[in-house]
């Protein structure tokens, strides 16, 4: 299935790549950038920009700050995940706290998911 995206998001996606959060930078530079399967950062899909995307595994990784755990953020994320899943994509979510306090576990979870798709 071909992924569509909103062309108007490209400039914002480029800006987000330059201004990743500390946790996003940690996950990117210390794991995903050199992972044997290609990942993209801040990738437009549909009307959203996802934090990280692996086309081969059809995997989206989101790193969530505290705003994602407020009622409005949780509702928005649920709708967003539902839209992304319509493309047969799987969304893995990690909190900033997960990245800060259990980085090895986060990496293992990602690796296990990708290995299960191989």
| pLDDT, tens only, 76-95 | 889 999 999 999 999 999 99
In a domain, 19, yes or no: yes
The CB-side HSE value for 56 (13 A sphere, CA atoms) comes to 13
Name the pTM for this structure: 0.86
pLDDT > 90 in the chain, percent: 69
Task: Judge contact between 30 and 103, C-beta under 8 A.
Answer: yes
CATH number at residue 80: 3.40.960.10
> Given this model, what pLDDT does residue 70 score?
61
In a domain, 27, yes or no: yes
Residue 61: φ, ψ to 5°: -115, 125
In a domain, 60, yes or no: yes
DSSP category for residue 37: S
Domain that holds residue 24: 7-117
Instruction: Write out pLDDT tens, residues 19-46.
Output: 999 999 999 999 999 999 999 999 999 9
In a domain, 2, yes or no: no
> Given this model, what pLDDT does residue 67 score?
61
Total tally of structural domains belonging to the chain: 1
């Amino acid at each position: 299935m071909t992924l569509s995206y909103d062309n108007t998001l490209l400039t914002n996606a480029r800006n987000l790549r330059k201004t990743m959060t500390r946790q996003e930078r940690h996950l990117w530079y210390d794991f995903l950038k050199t992972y044997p399967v290609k990942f993209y950062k801040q990738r437009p899909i549909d009307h959203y920009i996802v934090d990280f995307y692996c086309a081969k595994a059809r995997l989206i990784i989101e790193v969530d700050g505290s705003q994602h755990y407020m009622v409005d953020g949780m509702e928005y994320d649920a709708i967003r995940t539902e839209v992304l899943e319509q493309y047969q994509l799987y969304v893995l979510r990690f909190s900033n706290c997960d990245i800060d306090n259990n980085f090895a576990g986060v990496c293992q979870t990602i690796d296990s998911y990708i290995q299960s798709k191989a």
